[in-house]
Each structure stands twice: as C-alpha cells, then as structure tokens.
Structure 1
Amino acid sequence: MTTESANQENAVEPHTGSPSVPAPVELPEPDNDVNVAAAENYFNRELSQLQFNYRVLKQALDTTHPLLNRLMFCCIFSSNMDEFFEIRVAGLRQQIKYGRETLGSDGMMPEEVLGEISRVAHEYIHEQYEILNNVLIPEMERENIHFVRRREWTAEQADWVRHYFEDEILPVVSPIGLDPSHPFPRLVNKSLNFIVELDGKDAFGRETGMAIVPAPRSLPRLVRLPDEVCSGGENLVFLSSMIHAHAEELFPGMEVKGCYQFRLTRNADLELEEDLEDLASALRGELLSRRFGDGVRLEVADNCPEELVHFLLREFGLTDRDLYKVHGPVNLTRLMAVGGLVDRPDLTYSNFSPSIPRVIRSKDSMFDAIRKRPLLLLHPYENFSPVVDLLRQAAKDAQVLAIRQTLYRTGADSEIVEALMDAARRGKEVTAIIELRARFSEAENLELASRLQEAGVIVVYGVVGYKCHAKMILIVRREEGRLRRYVHLGTGNYHAGNARLYTDYSFMTCDESISDDVNKLFQQLTGMGKALKIKKLFHSPFTLHTRLLALVDREAELGAKGRIIFKFNALTERELIKALYRASRAGVKIDLIIRGVCCLRPEVPGLSDNIRVRSIIGRFLEHTRVYYFGNDGRPDVYCSSADGMERNLLNRVETAFPIEDPALSARLREDLDTYLADNCQSWILQSDGSYVQNQPAEGEERLASQLVLLERLTGTSQ
C-alpha cells in the first residue's frame, strides 16, 4: 500500500534518549491579521459531538458492514444520543437554570447552543427512523428476519402472545390511574412507558380518563416467537406491541381509547461537593437520585394525540423544543438484542483470533519476555491476555512482593480483579486505586471496591476533584538479590470486553526510569506531599499540558521541517488548539486523527492551512491516543491515556509515556500512516464544520485502515 511512511521522515531511526523539551516560547506572529483566539476559529463542542454521532449513524447505510452490524450502528447512535442529552444537554440547561451561563470559545451562549442542538438533533433522529423503517427493516425482511406487527399476527401467534402477556407481563405490570389520590408517577430515566386514554368508570366510581403504564425494566423489549407458530424465518415481536394489544386487560371493564408509548430522558450527571469526608458514601447517595433528575428530552410515538403530548410536556417541565416524535420504538438501543435472538452469523462480522507476539509465545514467563525487550500491543488485533497473564503470574510468583494498579472500568466479571484478589490472599501487598466516578460505572466500581477490600486489597479512591484516568500497573519483584519493577501503561481501560471492541495500546516495560516514574505517581495518589520530579512520563494535572504545548512549539520553531501527528478521541482544549494554529502558520505539517469532538477549524487560509483533520469510524471504536513529533528526523513518540481536552490535560490524573525503542516507535508511525492513508473509513473535517467521507479515487485501491491492521496483525482478511 502507499502510505506516508514511504517518505524520508521514517527513514531516520527514532532516538532513544529522553526528549529535549524546551519551555513554551512565544513565537513571532506571521505578517497577517488572523487572530488565533477569535471565536470564528473554533467549533462548538456540543455541535461537534452531534456530528460524531451522525457519522456513527451513517454506518447503518454502509453496505460494506454486515447487515446486523449496520443495525447495531443504528442502535449505538441511540445510545450515544441518550448520553448526549443526559450529560451535555443537561449541563447546558443547568447553566441556564442557575444563572451560570458561560461563553464558549466559539462565542455561543448556552441558550443559543440548545436551540441549534434541537434543530440538528431533530434532523438526525428523523433520519435515523427513516433508515430503520425504509432501509434496515426491509433488508432484514429479505433475509427472513421479521418484526411481526400486531396487524400481521396469525391466529396462532395472537394466541401465543395472549398467553405470554398473561403469564409474563400482567403479573409484573403496575398500571397507574391518574386522579387526586394517584398523582403523576415519578418515572425512571429512559424507561419505556405508555400513556393510556380511558373511557368509563372503575369499581370505585372514578372517571379519570387517563393512566400511565410503566413497562417493567426486567422484561425484554423484544421476544422471539416460537417456530411452531411461524411459517419460517426469524420472527420477533415488540413488548410494546403486546402491551398495546392487551391494554384493556390492565383496566377491566373500561374502554381503552388509545395507548401510546413515551420515554423521558433525565439529567444523569452526578454532582459531588469538593470537601467530602467519605467519597464512597456520598456517591452511593447521588446514584439514587440519578434515575430521577430533571427531564431534558421527551420521546413519544408520532400518533400520540396533541393534547396528551402537551400534557406530558407540562408534567416534565419541557417545551416543544425538547419533544421528539418518532415513528417506531422510542428506545432503539434495545434493538441491540436482535443479534442474540436470531441465529444468523452470516449477517455479522466473522470472529477472528487476536494474535500474540512471538516474543511472548516463546517465553513461559511474562517477566522474562519483558526483560528481553519492551512490549507494545494494539488491541483488539493483538490479544489482551498478556496483560491478564502478567497479573496472574505476579499473583502466584513467590518473588513478587507488591502490585499496584489503577482501575477505571473493569467489568463485572474481571480476570484482572480475580488476579489482584488472589495476590492479596497469597500475602502480597496489593493496592488498587479505583476511580469511583467513572461515568455510568459508579455502582459497579463501588461493588468492586467492596470485593477487593474483603480479599485484603488496599483500596484508595484517588484524589477528590481529579478523576484518576491513568492506566497503570506496577509490579515489584525480587530478582538476584535486588528489586526490579515491571510496568504496564495503557491508553484504554482494564476491561477485557472493551479490549475486543476498542482500539488501545498496551505498553509493558521494566525500564528503570519509567518504572521509577510510575512508582512516584502511585506515591502521589495514595499518599500526600509535593509533586515529585518525574523523569520520562508526562502527567496531568502537573506537566502534561505544559510539555505538550512545549513540544508543539518546538516543531513550530522548525517551520516547514516540523511534523506533528496527533491521534485523539477529542480535541477541545483552547491553548493546545492555539499552539497548533501557531505551528501551522509557521509551516508545520499537522495531521490530526480525531474520532469525535474537534473544536479546531482546519484548512483556514492564513490560520490552519497546514492542518488536516480526519475521523476514523469502523467496526472497532478508535480509542488510542498517540502524540507524534518529527523533531527534525529524531521523532519523539508518546502514547497516552489523555485526550486533547481541558478535563484530561488540566483536571484529571493522566499519563503520557514515551515509546523509545526504535522498532516500537517505527511500528507506531506505521500504524499512524495506515490511518492517514485510509480512503473509505475516514471522514475529513471541512473548514465549514461539515465532514466528508473519503472515497477512493478512480483506479485507486480501497484502503480501510482497520481492515489493513486486522490483516497485518492477525492474518485475517474480512
């Protein structure tokens, strides 16, 4: 394939010493009137996030993905939009509610942003249902996968549904009539509910005309009809259809004039005071309120009468701007269940076996392999098991004295957690720094902390006000009469499930300087004292931001000989964007591979002519963070847990670690060049804020970066 690695930049081996990082310098302004701080040079963060969600939705139309995976992208769009409203929209509404409006770098105030969000989100969600109803469902029908509607039920199917309703649904549903003694119920965030129009009087003579039916969250939203009542294929029926069909059984003797599904999205962000005495207890209290925060969005069936719609809006304190009428299920995220209900492996991506590097396969001990040379793994193409094996072997190794690890998200059934517990039970000193405030994993992390403590692990919750987002393991082992430290540093979480879906780097080394740095970081997190001097790692909130700016400025001093490649999930931090603008104006060639939010405006004459931004969307969620600096032919390359956002660079505990081994550094550059050569899974950010999907030029070979990496690292071609 043709990539940028063919040019002379990659012909020079990376140097292996510590990088020379000067202090940030004030570069002379080029002779033009461009103001790098002007509002028009920044995109709005929330609107950029919506753009990313839309790129995910467009995957549902990409026929290079298998059909059920296209349906999955449609569902992921729903999940992403849920979180967008729960967190981002809720945050803007909170600013307005409490009079804390702040002007963004883009010059937009919260009220203006909310108006634009409503306009764009309505367009995207309307398109989502168009794709579902007019593209995906017809294509699934052609593949003999049917969503069987009420009007299509045969007598046998209707009879089966009736028995299912009576046996499985009716016993657990609690209909709520609305009258003075039964006020409008407090509905759980994102729950499926029905508003029902009634006619007649009940046994007590009440005539309210209206009721609410919450669908129990324990019930599946999709049920597979048994083969014996169907004429072939895969046949699925919605829970909402079954409740609609038998709503009158919930209100005996009364006439159901209408039954309409709706769903309320609430503010799900957690607010904790900075001067807490007990973070875990405070968090447990806040989790109880998350399910019942202020309403931010109302979704209703598009056939719901206007008077009922406005009744719901009044109940939730919302306006027409917050209303989304949908033609189909109000929670498309639940359609993710389809893959598990139908047996059609031909309509999904085929499985592959992640590879394990030869240097690991040839050694019985992970410690022997790491001593031989540092290891760099790219998940999911390369197996996550060596990381687990490192901890398992450490737990059982009599020469290992101590293990320390940060845990952000690990999953309910984690082999890593089991290894830490095993090590503690065997008498080793095991310390786990658990970030309780990992969004939407808080309850799981509280349970995890309890399990680890019961096994004898020392559990620390990090530093209040600074989420511990760094991914670090430190193992202390006695070898030949001295102590040696082994380190794992990563760009992603210690979650085996995520490691099969997210692209992330794992780096393992016993380099003395790096292991000493990691040891000092653990000291800072578990103990108290002044910030310790770190040799090779950059770490926020202390040095990462300033060092990153200094390295950008160093490239700017090289002018046209400078080279920068960043791979982030998001870029919003204003000072870093300004530094990139300055470097571009100095002639530095800059490529930014940014999956999601990007507030930098590329390819603006006189400002960012030399900056090109692309987003890679494919089978796997791009999650790696890499910083590449050309340094006049002696590249400095870092992997990191941190994105280019204020929260990562200034308000969290993060690490960026150098990849100094020449072969590993060159391998990282090759990976970056593969992304830069992508001509079908990449979307190019335009100077007007829109994204255009790359297409192969006439006669050009199709190059999908994830497929190239899959074939390169696993030998699998899909």
Structure 2
Amino acid sequence: MSEQPVNEREVIKSTVEQGAKPADVDVNKEISDAAEELILEPIPEQPIDPSRLAIEERLPEDIDINDPELYFNRELSHLQFNARVLEQAMDENHPVLNRLMFLCIFSSNMDEFFEIRVAGLKSQIEYGREKNGPDGMHPKKVLKLISDHAHKLVRRQYRILNDIIFPKLAEENIRFIRRSVWSDKQAAWVRRYFRDNVLPIISPIGLDPAHPFPRLANKTFNFVVELEGRDAFGRENGLAIVPAPSSLPRLVKLPDDVCEGGDNMVFLSSIIHAHADQLFPGMTVKGCFQFRLTRNADLEVDSDDIGLDLAGALRTELQSRHYGSSVRLEIADNCPVHIVDSLLAQFDLGNDDLYRIDGPVNLSRLLAVLELVDRPDLMYAPFSPGLPNKLAKSGGIFEAIRQRDYLLMHPFESFSPVVDMLSEAAKDPNVVAIRQTLYRTGARSPIANALVEAARNGKEVTVVIELRARFDEAENLALASRLQDAGAIVVYGVVRHKTHAKMILIVRREGASLNRYVHLGTGNYHAGNARMYTDYGFLTCDKDIGDDVHRVFQQLTGMSKELKVKKLLHAPFTLRDRLLEMIAKEAENAANGEPARIIIKVNSLTEQRLVQALYKASQAGVKIDLIVRGICTLRPGIKGISSNIRVRSVIGRFLEHTRVYYFYNNRSPLVYLSSADGMDRNLNNRIEVAFPIQDFKLARRVKRELEYYLHDNTQSWILQSDGSYQLSKPRKGEYRSAQRVLLNDLADNAR
C-alpha cells in the first residue's frame, strides 16, 4: 500500500499543540522548524477598553447599535482575507503549482493593499485628515496593527515558499537553483547569459553629489551595492544603485545540457548578484542586496477641476502614478543595518515600513513558472464549461432568448453566449443599436472586437467605459480610442460616480416593432475573468427589464432627473434603500411569528446602515447567513444583537465574485443578482444595478447554489465573534465543496 501524503497543516498544528520537538515529527526538519511560524494566527480587532464591560456581557438593551465594538476594522478585515488566500498554499487539496499560484496571488494582493489601503491611511495622517471608521480606531493605531500582522504574514509566506513549496517542486524535478550550488557548467552558462543579455542593457548608478539617488518607479526591482576602493575619478568607497531592466525576465530557464534532467531555473537576482563585480571594474563589491519600493498608486481624478476632459486628466495622472509617496521597503534579509537605514531615510520611511525578505522580493513574478514548464499533471485538470441544452441547440441567440430567460454561472458554464450575442448582433442586419457598459475587458478582447465590428457595420454603438477601473485605466483609454476610431460613441459615465454596472442592451427590429435584448451580470465583460471568477450572467428579453436598462443608459449618456425604473434596483438611487426595506420586512415577518430568512453573498460588507439593518433583523429573530469572501465589518455571534447571524468566507480554486441578495419574503422569495457589494462605495457612490430573477425555476436554482456554499465544509472559513476566522473541518467521508459540486452540476466534463 502506498503511503498517504503528509498533511502539513495538521502536522504543524499538532506539533505546536503537543509541544513536540522536530525529532518527534516524521516530516522534514525545515517544516518542523517552521511549525510555530506557519500557524495561521487570528488578526485581532480593536482591543476592548478594560474600563468597560465587554459587549458580550452586556444586556442587548444596554448596547447602542453604533457602539464601535460591534464593528470590525475594514483594513484589518481586508488583511485577514489576504491571510486566507495565503493559507491556500498550505492546502494539499490543491495541486502544487496551484499552491504556488496562491502564494503569488497573495503577493499581488498585498502589493495592492499597500499601494491603496496603507497609502490612504498614511495620506490621512500626513494631511491631517484622520477619520475614524465605525470601529472607532484611529488611523495611526490601524497602521500599527497592519504593520504587526503584515510582517507575520510575509514571514509566513517565505517560510511556506522555502520550506514547503520549493521542496515539493524539487520532488517533481522543478528546481530553483541558487548561485551557491551552481555546477561549473551552470556557472559558465549563466556567465555567458549575463555577458550577452544583461550587461549590455543594465545601468549601474554610483551615488555621489553628481549622481543623486535615482527616482525609482513603483515596485521596480533594484539592487543596492556596497563598494570599496577608488575609481578612475578618485571617488572612494560608497554605494551604488542597480535597477534591473524591466525587459529582462525575472526567471531564466537553464538549458537541458547543463542540468541533470527536469526543469531548472535561476533567478535574475542570482545572475546579477553573482556578477555584480563586472558592473564596477576595479572596485571591490562588499555586498549586493535586492530591494523593492512600493509607492502610493491611487489616482485622484474626480475633482471638479478636470473640466470636460476626463480622459485627458486621467492620462496626465497616469504619468505620476509610478512615483507616488513611498509606503513600503522590501529588502534582502541579510542587508546590513547601515544600508537599510540609509534607504529608509532616502524614502522617508520608518522601521514599521521595512520588510526583510528571505527570497525574491516580488513573488508574483514566479507565475512565470507556468510558462516555463509543461506540467499539467501538477495543476488542476482543465474542464469544458457547460451550456444549457436549449441555448446550445437553438438556431440563434435571439431566437433562444425569445423563448425563455437564461442564467449562466461562470466559469462552470460558458461565457461564450455573451460573446456570441454581441458577435451575432454585429452581423445581424435587423440589429439597429447596441449599448454596453465596460469596466474591465481589454482593448483587444472578443467583446471589444464585436463592438468594433458592429460600429463598422453601421450599427449605433454606444459604450460607457469606466476609465477609472483601478489598474486598468491605461487599457481602458486604449479601448476607448479603438472604439472611437471605429465610429462608436464612447462616454465615460458620471464624473464622481464610477460606472460599475454590467449591462448590454441590443435593439433589434422584428416586424413592425423594435425589441430589446439584455444581458446583465455580476462580473466584468472579461473572458479571462470568466475562467477564474465565479459570476452570474442573465439573458432576457423581458420588456420591463429592457425598458429599465434603456432608462439607466439614458442617465449615463445624457442628462436627466432620476428616471423611474420598474424592476431593476439602481444605485445610487434605489438599491440601498430597497435592500434596507427588504431586510426590515423580514424583521417584521419574524416579529409577527412568520418564518424569515436572509442570505446575502457578496465580496465585501462594510456599509454601516446595511450592517445595522442586519443587526436589527437578527434581534427580531431573522435567520441570516452571510457569505462574504473578503472584508466584513459586521460582528456575528453577539448575544441579543447578532446571535442569529452566521458569516462565512469561501476561498477555493476560483475567486468567488457572485453577488446575490435572497429574502424569504413570507414564502414568496425575492432573489436579486447584482454588480454591487454591500459597501458604501457601491451603494452610495457608484452606478450599479441589481436585477430580479423572476422565473421560479431559475430563482430556485440560485437558492440551491447558495445552499451549496452554506454547506461547504472544506473551503469555508467561519467568522468568529472575536474577529478571527476558523476553517471548517469535515468529518471523514463528509467532504462538501461548493465549487466542486458546481463543477459536477454545470460543467460538461468536470473531473
């Protein structure tokens, strides 16, 4: 009988709980030594004031619903989500290359967290605009807690990489060879690579009064080099900065003839480090240390002074994005203190902003491994997304939608009907107009291609592009230009309200009338996202919904007072208030002794009025389940306040992205799907829509799929009343994974 694989998470947990020494555990020494470091520690929220009675011990009538103890801090909750993503790298249910991917995703998530969230807190303090959230915590305190726990998470990340993932990949003949163990053949090959590919384009910069410290762009890869000796101009000793050219790959695969088999790679950092002396002929290199600076990357283009040219203002702002204020310094862990202190002073950072790194300073670049090795056996098996039979067998997309509504859940079901709908519309002589919102899609995507073709074919194409989709601004500017060149009308929504709604409206002449066909979604019109994110897409020709979508486009492209809509809920006008009304109705039903139930699935929940409404519903006896992937400021499990609320986060192979609002409504369920999360920005400051699922069978399907998540016991993290998350642990033989069930239910050939 073959041996069962070692479950690192269980080994580590038992090691710490039992106080075992490394020799007591049958795993490699590195894992044992790392045990305490790799335990996922809860991130505590605001400390309870010892002078007050803990909220758990107070009577409900003595608790003010605005009490800060009822709310978790938004930023720390965000950090906890990143911690749950990191934990996927420890989960043996994921193939090893997917586990490496989760490490890379964690690294990318943390980059954005520092670029936006930490940078925002620092800006508040710098400009004297500190603002406490509902949790009552001052930004300085939040920054301190972020630093404490982010340092622990980053140390954990590199211990997982070095002690678990790299050894496991080595077992599969995928090796990352450090310069200390290069063979003579390998060293000779690397030397030639450096001479031919690196040396001609690298530009070392010695620091002196004539060579000031270079202006380093956000997240660029650099080295600080300590030099000894005298150069040709008489300059003695000192420091130099070596920016690694962005054109060079961060990971280089060694040829087979210098290795003993398998896939063997070296880091660019190792190549430069090993040959740093060639960059400074005649000087002695005392030390060479990689580092990376993270800057504020948020854009501010919503002010009144942008005039009538949002695109022009954004182009100007994009030029400065790479050079915002400094927020974090990552540097090799063996860099001497005096050099570190010099860099901190140069970037105006403190010790809390310093992260010493035991490995590559940008782990997200390790995703290049997936392109350098051909090992599908070490990743999830591919699958073919499903397609409803009637849609697959129809004579055309419009004929199919005339017969019935369709609900698609990506990636388990195909995104192709959305592309087909636009492609068919572009060619159909009966289609006279197409309107669409675009948040993230890509300038050369199939969606963009279909819109360009439609415009060139004489259709009236109007596209509302949200230029300020974070980190997609440049791509969206390029998309806008391409569409305009094809003859489409492009508008940029409303200046102070991002357009986040996902809508397509196609107007088709059929006989003597013009009929509307609609697609509404919870996620972006991006084929790549549709393979990685779970999202709903809805196809209908319902007259009222078509009229509603038409009115929303009127508001976006023209100027008018608020237009009444019949079936859609529309932020910032009706969505929040209608959600509050439906929550209050469930509370009223519960108070009257009727069964009451609320299920909400969103990416984040922070809007205070929504949280307070859920507290009141819980107090009235409503059973509430919240499936919140990321940030959640609501505190569950408080007696008499939130004891009827359960909160779970599901993290798995696909990124959860569906937004669903379900209300039992006294046996007449209301089911809404939406582009909007339960956040202040979504409900009050963005253009969003929520759309009803009126077909009984489709509504029942959505409820069933919500239940899959509520019964998930393998990838579900349960939020505790103290702010920590506890991973569900199934009993033997009782494993339930929502994503696996959905694959089996909806995909064509899931395995």
Asked whether the 8 Å contact 1:685–1:691 carries over to 2, the reply is: yes
Match for residue 362 of structure 1 among 359, 376, 393: 393
Alignment partner, residue 123 of structure 1: 152
What whole-Å deviation, never above 9, does each CA across 1:229-284 have from its counterpart, x for those lacking one?
A: 10111101000000001101111111111000000000000012234221000000
Alignment partner, residue 390 of structure 1: 421
Indicate whether 1:133 and 2:194 are aligned. Answer: no
**Alpha-carbon distance in structure 1 between the residues aligned to 2:411 and 2:159:** 33
Match for residue 597 of structure 1 among 606, 631, 644: 631
Indicate whether 1:234 and 2:263 are aligned. Answer: yes
Indicate whether 1:709 and 2:739 are aligned. Answer: no
What whole-Å deviation, never above 9, does each CA across 1:191-244 have from its counterpart, x for those lacking one?
A: 110000001122222225110000011111101000011011110100000000
**Alpha-carbon distance in structure 1 between the residues aligned to 2:228 and 2:158:** 32
**Alpha-carbon distance in structure 2 between the residues aligned to 1:537 and 1:219:** 50
Match for residue 515 of structure 2 among 458, 469, 484: 484
Deviation, structure 1 residue 37: 1.2
Alignment of structure 1 residues 441-590 onto 2, 5 Å: 441-559=472-590, 561-590=595-624
Say which SS state the counterpart of residue 513 (structure 1) adopts.
Answer: helix
Asked whether the 8 Å contact 1:541–1:654 carries over to 2, the reply is: yes
Indicate whether 1:274 and 2:307 are aligned. Answer: no
Which consecutive residues of structure 1, in runs of 5 or more, have no partner in the other structure? 1-29
Q: Which segments of structure 1 move beyond 6 Å, counting only runs of 4 or more?
A: none
Indicate whether 1:221 and 2:250 are aligned. Answer: yes
**Alpha-carbon distance in structure 2 between the residues aligned to 1:422 and 1:642:** 30
Which consecutive residues of structure 2, in runs of 5 or more, have no partner in the other structure? 1-58
Say which SS state the counterpart of residue 534 (structure 1) adopts.
Answer: coil
Deviation, structure 1 residue 306: 0.2
Deviation, structure 1 residue 413: 2.6
Indicate whether 1:613 and 2:644 are aligned. Answer: no
**Alpha-carbon distance in structure 2 between the residues aligned to 1:579 and 1:241:** 56
Indicate whether 1:433 and 2:470 are aligned. Answer: no
Deviation, structure 1 residue 321: 0.5
Alignment of structure 1 residues 323-334 onto 2, 5 Å: 323-334=354-365
Indicate whether 1:675 and 2:726 are aligned. Answer: no
Asked whether the 8 Å contact 1:377–1:507 carries over to 2, the reply is: yes
Which one-letter code corresponds to 1:454 in the other structure? D
What whole-Å deviation, never above 9, does each CA across 1:543-581 have from its counterpart, x for those lacking one?
A: 111111011001010116110000000000000000000
Asked whether the 8 Å contact 1:179–1:208 carries over to 2, the reply is: no
Asked whether the 8 Å contact 1:177–1:208 carries over to 2, the reply is: no
Asked whether the 8 Å contact 1:569–1:594 carries over to 2, the reply is: yes
Which one-letter code corresponds to 2:697 in the other structure? A
| Count of residue pairs brought into register by the alignment | 688
Which one-letter code corresponds to 1:164 in the other structure? Y
Asked whether the 8 Å contact 1:247–1:256 carries over to 2, the reply is: yes
Deviation, structure 1 residue 700: 4.9
Deviation, structure 1 residue 53: 0.2
Asked whether the 8 Å contact 1:411–1:497 carries over to 2, the reply is: no
**Alpha-carbon distance in structure 2 between the residues aligned to 1:492 and 1:172:** 42
Say which SS state the counterpart of residue 252 (structure 2) adopts.
Answer: strand
Alignment of structure 1 residues 12-411 onto 2, 5 Å: 32-272=61-301, 273-277=303-307, 278-411=309-442
Structure 1 vs Structure 2 CA RMSD: 1.0
TM-aligned CA distance change 1:444 to 1:31, over 3 Å: closer
Alignment partner, residue 694 of structure 1: 728
Say which is worse superposed, 282-291 or 556-565, in terms of deviation.
Answer: 556-565
**Alpha-carbon distance in structure 2 between the residues aligned to 1:369 and 1:695:** 44
Which one-letter code corresponds to 1:355 in the other structure? G
Asked whether the 8 Å contact 1:202–1:254 carries over to 2, the reply is: yes
**Alpha-carbon distance in structure 1 between the residues aligned to 2:135 and 2:442:** 37
Deviation, structure 1 residue 152: 1.0
Alignment partner, residue 688 of structure 2: 654
**Alpha-carbon distance in structure 1 between the residues aligned to 2:526 and 2:60:** 50
**Alpha-carbon distance in structure 1 between the residues aligned to 2:723 and 2:543:** 45
Indicate whether 1:640 and 2:674 are aligned. Answer: yes
Which one-letter code corresponds to 2:232 in the other structure? A
Deviation, structure 1 residue 630: 0.3
Deviation, structure 1 residue 35: 1.9
Which one-letter code corresponds to 1:604 in the other structure? I
**Alpha-carbon distance in structure 1 between the residues aligned to 2:170 and 2:335:** 27
TM-score, normalised via structure 2 length: 0.91
Say which is worse superposed, 468-477 or 357-366, in terms of deviation.
Answer: 357-366
Deviation, structure 1 residue 412: 4.0
**Alpha-carbon distance in structure 2 between the residues aligned to 1:474 and 1:381:** 24
Asked whether the 8 Å contact 1:359–1:369 carries over to 2, the reply is: yes
Say which SS state the counterpart of residue 236 (structure 2) adopts.
Answer: coil
Deviation, structure 1 residue 362: 1.2
Deviation, structure 1 residue 162: 0.8
TM-aligned CA distance change 1:317 to 1:103, over 3 Å: same
TM-aligned CA distance change 1:31 to 1:238, over 3 Å: closer
